[in-house]
Amino acid sequence: SSGINAEYGDPSAKLFVAVVYRPPDASFSSFSKLLDEMGQAIEDLAEHDFDIFVTGDFNIPQVDWESLEILSGGTSESNRSAHRLLSFMSTYLLTQMVRVPTRGSSILDLVLCNNERLISDVTAESTDISDHEMVEVLL
């Protein structure tokens, strides 16, 4: 599991926050269904100008988050899920903000948002309660 800590100082802010856990062996169809449901929720809020944050343990290590390319080595289901996630991000104008590994040398724990200006810092540090780094986002 992963830990996410977020603080925001404006109580009048309109935020959509979703937390995702995608097991390493998740099927493409279950992950795609989750993204479809989240997409519908985002579309329902579109006219209200919400800032969107989607965060959690996605367990998709084969994405190069600098180039947004799928690297070799993943399973077929994981590769399809990676492509689907990148498509979801493109559709909803989401940027992945975690730039440091969160488990071993991989970035598995993600923070996706549609307004990068709200995030002033993202860090990851080891914790005794997980084999993942704890991601901290300063808004």
How many helical (H) and strand (E) elements, i.e. helices and strands, does the chain have? 2, 9
User: pTM for the whole thing?
Assistant: 0.87
| pLDDT average, residue stretch 110-121 | 94
Going by pLDDT thresholds of 50, 70 and 90, the confidence category of residue 11 is low
**Cα 14 from chain centre:** 19
Tokens 């598995």: give the residue: 108
120-133 per-position pLDDT tens digit: 999 999 989 888 98
Least confident range from 46-50, 74-78, 97-101, 120-124: namely 46-50
Sheet hosting strand 51-57, strand order edge to edge = 15-21, 51-57, 109-113, 95-96
**113 CB contacts (<8 Å, ≥6 apart)?**
51, 52, 53, 54, 94, 95, 97, 119
d(CA 17, CA 8) in angstroms, rounded, equals: 12
Residue 75 φ/ψ, nearest 5 degrees: -70, 165
pLDDT in tens, 39-68: 999 999 888 888 999 999 999 999 999 999
Across the chain, mean pLDDT equals 89
For residue 9, pLDDT over 80 is answered with: no
